[in-house]
Amino acid sequence: MQVVLVSPRNPLNIGAAARAMANFGFSRLAVVAPYAPNWREARSAVGAPELLRNAREYATLAEAVAGCALVIGTGTVTHRKPEQPVVKLPVLAPEISRCLGRGGDVALVFGPEKRGLTRDDLSYCHLLVEIPTTPEQPSMNLGQAVAVCLYELATRAIETETAAAAGETAAGRSGEAAPQENPATSATLDLLAGVIDQVMTAADYSPPEMRAANRHDLRLLLRRLTLTERDGRRILRLFRRVLWRLRR
Amino acid sequence: MQVVLVSPRNPLNIGAAARAMANFGFSRLAVVAPYAPNWREARSAVGAPELLRNAREYATLAEAVAGCALVIGTGTVTHRKPEQPVVKLPVLAPEISRCLGRGGDVALVFGPEKRGLTRDDLSYCHLLVEIPTTPEQPSMNLGQAVAVCLYELATRAIETETAAAAGETAAGRSGEAAPQENPATSATLDLLAGVIDQVMTAADYSPPEMRAANRHDLRLLLRRLTLTERDGRRILRLFRRVLWRLRR
């Protein structure tokens, strides 16, 4: 499982998130579009854990989660109606176990301190996790939210740990296992969404002003379907064929 | 249940601890011997939760937990052999439920950032709680440790919440209930420890150079016994009688 921080701002929060990862035995950190000076400061801080220096940097969330079959968004869902299933943190572990057990990689995504994940960020998520805070003070500090989530997953999900090891092994020797039956990666879904979008345009499916909204809904729809990698590839071939026909 | 911070140093950590309390619905904060300028800064910070302004201040840990029947110390136990039972955080809730259900108050105690709770602080604790971190990076940031503990207790201990309400009601009308059968408070145990110490001195029980160590062991012993308030009072009367005799 990897932890993804989208545009983190405060170096202390970045450091705290990394430290919580080290505390609970997680090592893969990805950072999306960080504010460069603060990111440099956080990475070079005295006592910064190894995993912070090894963190991967991406320009977009889509790239950061491209290899993942289950992308989980975090944040408070009080002020907007969520567009995908919401799972409470104490029951998240089995969801992750299931994905890891099928050989898929998982990303847990945290938004920036002030505003959280945007609607566009969330459209890359298969589900949202809710930390059960009080209605009076629902919003958590970034470093503390990371600590609470990772504590929960490290402590409750003994199956996850085992499944994670098994999953990583299966992914490592993808020729031997049956990767076709693995859940579709975010990258495959994005490829598919791109081709379907072109098909919709080529078929004059919707007026130009509706296209951004349709693209958004399509991303969410594809994530709701829980396609296998094989399903994803099959549908991709179909739409490519359709597109070729439409353009003739 | 009350949260006790012993000599917290960093205003950001104090603020983070208070915020985690607000996130998970805890309201009673006590602070022992804080570093005055930082404590003032933390309390007057913009957005400081109400509970931080209402926090109680004590000179010693003994005073802060005087009214509690179960005092739980936090911290990593790797570098010293614990002198009382150690409970892992995921199974702490039932212990707290039991105490609250019997009408006793509970304190969860966090030490200062750098050194954690001292051996003397720990001698006021009935048990220690261990957050299951990795051996490679066992030490947690104060604000994150508070968040993780309170998340666990707020989420898992539905019985605790109910029992807490019941317990607080019982404590509120102690005339009606049977407070005699409540667990002995820390204040009663300290009173008892004081008289027994005088008895040991009056009886020349141990050489003067051993007295501090004996006092320490005595505090721990009394907390192991899980005395009721009635037991505590009864033993206190016995030792007062003995002391009076010895001094005649």
Helix residue spans in chain B (DSSP H): 11-23, 36-44, 50-53, 61-64, 93-101, 119-122, 142-156, 158-172, 186-202, 211-224, 229-247
Which residue in the set A23, A136, A151 is minimally distant from B137, CB to CB? A23
Average pLDDT, chain A: 84
Q: Considering just the CA atoms, what is the radius of gyration of chain A in Å? A: 19
Which residue in the set B90, B139, B140 is minimally distant from A155, CB to CB? B90
pTM, 2 dp: 0.80
Question: Does residue A17 surpass a pLDDT of 60?
Answer: yes
Render the burial of A138-169: b for 16+ CB within 10 Å, e for the rest: bbbbbbbbbbbbbbbbbbbbeebeebbeebee
Model pLDDT for residues B73-83, shown as the tens digit of each residue = 998 765 567 78
**What pLDDT, on a 0 to 100 scale, did the predictor assign at position B209?**
84
What average pLDDT does range A9-36 have in this prediction?
94
Domains of chain B, residue spans: 2-172, 184-247
Model pLDDT for residues A40-71, shown as the tens digit of each residue = 999 988 878 899 999 999 999 999 999 999 99
Contact A107, A4 (CB under 8 A): yes
**What pLDDT, on a 0 to 100 scale, did the predictor assign at position A16?**
94
Helix residue spans in chain A (DSSP H): 11-23, 36-43, 50-53, 61-64, 93-101, 119-122, 142-156, 158-172, 186-202, 211-224, 229-247
Query: pLDDT 10s digit of each residue in chain B, 248 long?
Result: 999 999 999 999 999 999 999 999 999 999 999 999 999 999 988 877 899 999 999 999 999 999 999 999 998 765 567 788 899 999 999 889 888 888 889 999 999 998 899 988 999 999 999 999 998 888 899 999 999 999 999 987 644 344 344 444 444 433 334 556 788 889 989 998 998 888 888 888 778 888 888 888 888 888 887 788 888 888 888 888 888 888 87
Question: Does residue A168 surpass a pLDDT of 60?
Answer: no
- Searching chain A, which residue's CA lies closest to the CA of residue B90? A155
Cα pseudo-dihedral A75, A24, B21, B123, rounded to 10: 180
Q: Do B23 and A137 touch (CB under 8 A)?
A: yes
Tell me how far apart the alpha carbons of residues A241 and B63 are, in angstroms, rounded to a whole number: 77
**What pLDDT, on a 0 to 100 scale, did the predictor assign at position A70?**
92
Tell me how far apart the alpha carbons of residues B158 and B94 are, in angstroms, rounded to a whole number: 10
**What pLDDT, on a 0 to 100 scale, did the predictor assign at position A166?**
43
**What pLDDT, on a 0 to 100 scale, did the predictor assign at position B163?**
39
* Angle of CA points B8, B13, B19, to nearest 5°: 120
Render the burial of A55-78: b for 16+ CB within 10 Å, e for the rest: beebeebbbbbbebbbbbbbbbbe
**What pLDDT, on a 0 to 100 scale, did the predictor assign at position B177?**
45
Tell me how far apart the alpha carbons of residues B129 and B3 are, in angstroms, rounded to a whole number: 14
Q: Do B25 and A152 touch (CB under 8 A)?
A: no
Helices B142-156/B93-101 angle, 10° precision: 60
Chain B residues whose CB is inside 8 A of the A16 CB are 141, 143-144
The tokens describing A39, both together, are 């990111």
Render the burial of A204-235: b for 16+ CB within 10 Å, e for the rest: eeeeeeeeeebbbebbbebbeeebbbebbbeb
Q: Is B103 left (phi over 0), alpha (psi -120 to 50) or beta?
A: left
**What pLDDT, on a 0 to 100 scale, did the predictor assign at position B179?**
59
Instruction: State the smallest CA–CA distance between residue A100 and chain B in angstroms.
Output: 21
Tell me how far apart the alpha carbons of residues B39 and B41 are, in angstroms, rounded to a whole number: 5
Tell me how far apart the alpha carbons of residues B202 and B21 are, in angstroms, rounded to a whole number: 46
Residue scoring higher pLDDT (B231 or A24)? A24
Class of domain B2-172: alpha beta
Contact B25, B53 (CB under 8 A): no
Instruction: State the smallest CA–CA distance between residue B170 and chain A in angstroms.
Output: 25
B177–chain A Cβ distance below 8 A for any pair = no
Contact B70, B104 (CB under 8 A): yes
Model pLDDT for residues A188-235, shown as the tens digit of each residue = 899 989 988 888 888 887 788 888 888 888 888 888 877 888 888 888
Tell me how far apart the alpha carbons of residues A152 and A162 are, in angstroms, rounded to a whole number: 16
Chain B residues whose CB is inside 8 A of the A148 CB are 147-148, 151
B214–chain A Cβ distance below 8 A for any pair = no
Tell me how far apart the alpha carbons of residues B108 and B205 are, in angstroms, rounded to a whole number: 34
Tell me how far apart the alpha carbons of residues A63 and A86 are, in angstroms, rounded to a whole number: 23
Kindly report the number of other CB atoms within 10 A of residue B5's CB atom.
27
Which residue in the set B16, B90, B132 is minimally distant from A144, CB to CB? B16
Backbone angles phi, psi at A89, to 5 degrees: -50, -45
Please name which of A76, A32, A82, A40 lies closest in space to residue A57, comparing C-alpha atoms.
A32
A138–chain B Cβ distance below 8 A for any pair = yes
**Residue pairs spanning A and B at CB distance below 8 A:** 88
A58–chain B Cβ distance below 8 A for any pair = no
Residue A173: pLDDT band (50, 70, 90) is: very low
Residue scoring higher pLDDT (A181 or A118)? A118
Instruction: State the smallest CA–CA distance between residue A232 and chain B in angstroms.
Output: 38
At residue A179, the 3 state secondary structure works out as: helix
Q: Do B140 and A19 touch (CB under 8 A)?
A: yes
The tokens describing A49, both together, are 């854990």
Q: Do A20 and B141 touch (CB under 8 A)?
A: yes
Q: In angstroms, how far is the first alpha carbon of chain A from the final one?
A: 44
Q: Do A19 and B144 touch (CB under 8 A)?
A: yes
Cβ-Cβ contacts under 8 Å for A231 (sequence gap 6 or more): A184, A225
Backbone angles phi, psi at B53, to 5 degrees: -70, -30
Tell me how far apart the alpha carbons of residues A95 and B41 are, in angstroms, rounded to a whole number: 43
Question: Edge-to-edge, what's the strand order for the sheet holding B56-58?
Answer: B56-58, B28-32, B2-6, B105-110, B68-74, B127-130, B86-88
